[in-house]
Structure 1
Amino acid sequence: MSEQGPTEAFIAELKRWRDVRGLSQSALASAVGYTPSYVSKVEGGQQRPSATFAEGADKALRAGGALRRAFHELDAQGREAPTPRSPGAGEPHTSSLTVEHEDTSLHFDGRTYRATQRRRLYNDGSDPITRYLIRISVDRYPGSPDRSNQHYREHPLTWEEINLSASIDGEEMKWRVQHDRDAFKELWLLFENDHGRYPLYPGESVWLEYSYTVGADKWGTWFQRAVRLPTQRLGVRLDFPAELDPVVWGTETTMTAAAFPFRNPIRSSTEDGRRVFSWSTDEPPLHARYRLEWTFRAQKTKEPNLTRTADTASARMQAIGIVQEGDPILTAAAFPFSLPDEAEDARRVVAELHSAADRAAGVHNFGKGMGIAAPQIGINRAAAIVRTPEGEAITLLNPRIIEESGDFDEQYEGCLSFFDVRGMVPRPMSISVEHTDIDGQQRITIFERGHARLVAHEVDHLHGLLYRSKMRPGIKPIPVSEYRGTGQTWQYGTAREENRRGT
């Protein structure tokens, strides 16, 4: 394991987060008010970063304080001299290597992931190549960098668990560590072993293969490939246990952070108890990032807390992954998205919300419609979805109520985070909600009656409020066993008056 000085540690974090967010040096420089040359010199070890740059880069890259902490470590060591590094002999440059074919596979056995990457490399330069830089990076909680950074400080990724193996045309390879951080490792694969050296000469091709293992406790449900070299064909294969009922989707992100679904579909097949998803593309553009994400729809039913005690409504919701009352995340204001810069993060959170809504719909009949906010699935971001009784899906990003009607209505509500009771809550009959589209456009939408109630409930969640705080003084929720409105829609106007008269 390598020892890193504070300068190298800061550089490693800066490169990692710039890569995660898909920002070029020029784009980062523009975001923080520095020149591309300055960023290049910082990453090359020729320029000591300033406190202003470190703070700005942490904010622009949404690094959750990782860059600030790395800078404080550097600052605590005093004015450490820069450590400039020039490319060594045979170090690959973008202009000298082409990936003729890449096949990546990810195998999950229910507890650990094993990633294997095979690349057919062609040397189209004028010098022999003797090493190849690779990165192993994990993120257990995408979209919540604070939580991920804390998780890896407490449970760092180790070389022992990675169990790295690498070969070139079948010959075992040695490697040398470049960066060793809690959440990622960067190392040079050397085209040599104890038996000889195997340079890749100009005009020649070679198959390079490497594999590593990461436990599910450290690997989030995503896999990403960034195109750093000219590539002719790129393919990815995900191999999961069929009993977990996996669902996979993909997003392509450009250097401008514009994200859109894969242009061609992900294929799937089932054989011998395994569900295999495969996807490929030809001539992917440089600097594009291809991200595959998945959810295991059946996994939640196998968790230890789904036992005989899960016979209450709240226990069933907890068993499918809904955060329950008492967790501090439910009473904290959610962090807004910076859109369109965080469009990829927002899409990922919305996908997680729909997955959670599907699970909830599998254990309860929501006749009035339903909604769920990101804090209820452990993500402290300002996103929520609402599904109306008519089947409409409403996405709310950074919402806030800017106007309410003067007339109010009082009806029972339930909350997935304490689902054993129902509470009589007064709500305005009409609300105007300001929210942000995925492309960053501000919009104002008017919701009325039942839709207004559903939306207001979720907006409250994103501001750290539960419906208990909206009930009239002296009124308490009733047990769900006493509630008689399950499976029915809220009633308004004439229908409600007739129901009160018993007609």
Structure 2
Amino acid sequence: MTPSPHPADFPTALAYWRKLRRLTKKALAEAMGFDPSYISHVESGRYPASEEFARLAEQKLSSTGELWRSWQSAPHARPTPAGDGELFVDLDHAELRYHKGTYTAFMRRRVVNGGNEPVTRYLARISVDRYPGQPELSNELYRNHPLTWERLNLTATCDGEPMTWVAKHDRDSFKEVWLSFENQNSMFPLYPGQSASLEYSYVVGSDQWGQWFQRAIRLPTRAVSVELRFPASLEPGVWGTETSTTAAAVPLRSAIRRREDDGEVIFSWHTNDPPIGARYRLEWRWRGNPDRDIDAFPALRTASDRMRAAGIAQEGEEILARPAKPFRLPEQAQQAEEVVDQLHRAVQRVRDHHHFGKGMGLAAPQIGVDHAAAIVLPPDPDAATVLLLNPVIINESGQTDSQYEGCLSFFDVRGLVPRSRRIEVEHTKPDGSTTITVFTDALARLVAHEVDHLHGVTYKDRMAEGVSPIPVEEYRGTGKSWSYDQGTAQTPPMEESQKLPSSRIQRSPCRADDVVGFAPVDRRLT
């Protein structure tokens, strides 16, 4: 090959020079720091190249000015207004699972910035309609029982990094939210030519979700796929339609595939290169019993309903108001191990209903077991679970702060609770020996909450006089970590008589804002 005597359009020139240099799309992408799919889209002419991409391509491939002139002569070379850039979607995948009266939606997007400005946010939409085709029934339902952010339990990540979000529209049955490419620790804007995997999820009860699921194409998209997962016992049947800005609803042009796996029926569907404005709607019914409506399942209307369904004892039950029985260790080590296993199974059930951005804990009395055992999952998802047997707080700092807490045993409210920022907890190991562990800040709050449960105390007993819990709908900290001023959790030097032998205090590497010196423990006791 020899250089083209006349500048071609940019996609053609790019392919020409890439082949001339004997580079694959993957090799060129690695050399330029771009995603290979972006190069494929540019060469196919599906999406315009960014200015940064064109300059790098000229440097890496041509050095004659041909690529740069080709890009400058294209209509897209004109400067674009500053803002959120221009996104296109390489892959749009949605999963919807139904389980015991609750729908959980998982959305995955592989997005690429094809514009000239950094992208700083992504718009997500959530819309429900319990009675499609009967607006008067739906309007009445959502007036009386509006869709709430708390119940949706929206979470989002970008390449695994948590994303903050801000509501754009908050209506009874419709939400719009900006997912921001940032969190409290950092910013990670999507720069021109870069790609990222966005994932977000939310939950809606069957009392608010109708038997349909729709995908609307609002950005240039290469591929769309949907997966529906239903219990096989319901004998579900699924069908679908598609509409566009110029055509009425018609059957889906590609088939819905069906398979069974571990008690579930899984329906999957996909299409390539959907047009902007297209809407793909999947609907279903339970064929096992046509007269059985999903309202026959218990409606999980409140957060406490969901915790009760997960097997968590609720406020008013006597076991929550009395001290738990301590284990005799090591004689009862096997019994303690069985209780810990029960706690971990219960945690998994609870997580089906709620995401815990602040970490979480669970005490044995909350699952109806009258023994002094608790587990705590730290805010850092990579940190080990904390196991507590027969725990007692033996010392705490005078440095306190007040944060809102939730309790699985009355999850419809949140309460402002003052607690010490540093505590020392004596607890027993399965072999019968005792140890003392130091916890600070968020982990200190979580541990203190669970130790209270084992002594028949709830956070309501710790609230300041005259302060009452607030409805969860009024709480604005869902899914966010507690914040602390760094370096202020230190306590004044203790008197020598108060100091603990250093050999009894367990210490291990850990994030300074979570804990100082807590000992990671395995799930099993042995």
TM class by smaller structure: 0.3 to 0.5
Larger radius of gyration: 2
TM-score where L is the length of structure 1: 0.42
TM-score where L is the length of structure 2: 0.40
